[in-house]
Amino acid sequence: MRGTLHFVAAEDVRWMLGLLAPRVLTRAAGRYRQLGLDAATFARAERLLTRALRGGQLLTRPAAMQVLARGGVDPAGQRGIHVLGWLAMRGRICHATPLGKQATFALLDDWVPAGARWQGDDALGEIACRYFQSHAPATAADFAWWTGLNLTEARRAMALVGDQDRGDAAVLGSGPTPRGRGAWLLPPWDEYTVGYQDRAALVAPAHAHAGALRAPGALLRPTVLLDGRVVATWTRTLGRAGIRVAVASLGALTPAQRRAIGAAAERYAGFLGQPIAGIAFTPA
């Protein structure tokens, strides 16, 4: 989706690649030409890496680059990375078990057994269901941006799953569920904030013009949610005494809201197996 890395269930990877990867590859065609990566080069790279990975073998990125270089495919600059991306989006390779801090690659056929899933309109409708069930309320433009579909395809996908025509504000489902209420500490680039083209609805109207949100990508930093709305950003410091959490609020917080955020910090510390050494609240 959009040419970025995503974690997906193994049984979903093939139909998602079949639906979404061709659009990414088409948009990348100009960059491939700049790098001198033509059909013959990609075909040669596929033969080289398929042979090297056969039988369940894994390759680190440097090792994969060496295989390409020895086989006559120059991986210099960004060529090697684009070759790996092309092979992944074609369903030939995938990320496998890391070797220390090094990513490794395997043949997708070795890593994920093949299986028949959705194709054509069935796949288009399924991706719409997945998105709107997990992101509603959202617009057609949000859905198109998230998947990499064009707006016409996005609206058609929504029609396939029975949505009523409400223009660009069409949604499937509703807003935050009771499970989403309370306070949550989100990491940077969390799907809750990344999953939309227009992120205005993520912020309470009272905070919409907060100076802390004017910087590009502000909502992509670690954020604090209260009942589904961003009310602050946060940082952590790890020390011998435990975790210190600093919350920069967009506006005034009530004592109850501070307690809720404190409880979220406790949950986070518990997940890391560390005590809370302190939590500080300051204006953003």
Q: 189 vs 260, which has greater pLDDT?
A: 260
> What pLDDT score does 6 carry?
81
> What pLDDT score does 166 carry?
44
Spatial distance between the Cα atoms of 33 and 145, rounded to a whole number of angstroms = 25
Specify the pTM: 0.77
CA neighbours within 13 Å on the CB side: how many for 171?
A: 11
Spatial distance between the Cα atoms of 253 and 21, rounded to a whole number of angstroms = 44
pLDDT at 176 over 50: no
Phi, psi torsion values for 200, nearest 5 degrees: -60, -35
Q: 114 vs 67, which has greater pLDDT?
A: 67
> What pLDDT score does 164 carry?
44
The answer to whether 59 and 49 are in contact (CB under 8 A) is: yes
Compute CA 27 distance to the chain's CA centroid, rounded to the nearest angstrom: 19
Identity of the highest mean pLDDT range in 125-139, 153-167, 263-277: 263-277
> What pLDDT score does 133 carry?
87
pLDDT at 168 over 60: no
Band (pLDDT 50/70/90 cuts) for residue 211 is low
CATH code, residues 10-111: 1.10.10.10
99 CB neighbour count, 10 Å cutoff: 12
Spatial distance between the Cα atoms of 17 and 216, rounded to a whole number of angstroms = 30
Spatial distance between the Cα atoms of 104 and 110, rounded to a whole number of angstroms = 14
Band (pLDDT 50/70/90 cuts) for residue 197 is confident
Conformational region of residue 153, where left means phi above 0, alpha means psi within -120 to 50, and beta covers everything else: alpha
63-73 mean pLDDT: 98
Identity of the highest mean pLDDT range in 27-41, 104-118, 216-230: 27-41
